[in-house]
Amino acid sequence: MFDRPGASKSSIPFFQPFAGGIITPNEGDHVQVYRLNDQSYVAMFPLNGSQYAPTDVGPGELAFSFDADTLVRVKRRGDGKFDVSVAASGDVNISGESVLINGIDFEQHAHAYTDDGAQNVTGTPQ
């Protein structure tokens, strides 16, 4: 949205913080708009902030918050390593040619449940 008199909406490319990384604002969000050396413009990060943003994000950490229950976060530990956490208000889907959990191929360690709740182990547990 352009708040100043005489301003009009136009198609302005949105900044990508890294290859493949896209942050798009919601309609009505305020964003930073920069004029580049070639006289073109680029829009940057929404300035509205989020009521759901974590307050303890430190240097070099990332957090993507979408609602009160949905957060993707990369947090630096005291030993310099990083923890990655994903929480969602809906489903979490992980797919790929091979899905490893702690080095174990998920396809080889799957559990199936019958309608009566009895557990039937399939595959080769590891």
pLDDT tens column, 62-110: 888 888 899 899 988 889 899 999 999 999 988 888 888 878 777 665 5
| Number of domains within the chain | 1
Q: Confirm whether 5 is domain-assigned.
A: no
Which residues span the domain enclosing 80?
Answer: 49-91
User: What pLDDT is recorded for position 34?
Assistant: 84
**What's the Cα-to-Cα distance from 88 to each of 40, 64, 69, rounded to whole Å?**
38, 11, 6
| pTM (whole model) above 0.75 | no
Answer whether residue 118 shows pLDDT above 90.
no
Partners of residue 111 on adjacent β-strands:
121
Partners of residue 67 on adjacent β-strands:
70
Phi-psi bin for 20: left (phi > 0), alpha (psi -120 to 50), beta? left
Q: Confirm whether 99 is domain-assigned.
A: no
In one-letter notation, the amino acid at residue 52 is Y
Q: Confirm whether 83 is domain-assigned.
A: yes
Q: Measured in Å, how far apart are the chain's first and last C-alpha atoms? A: 55
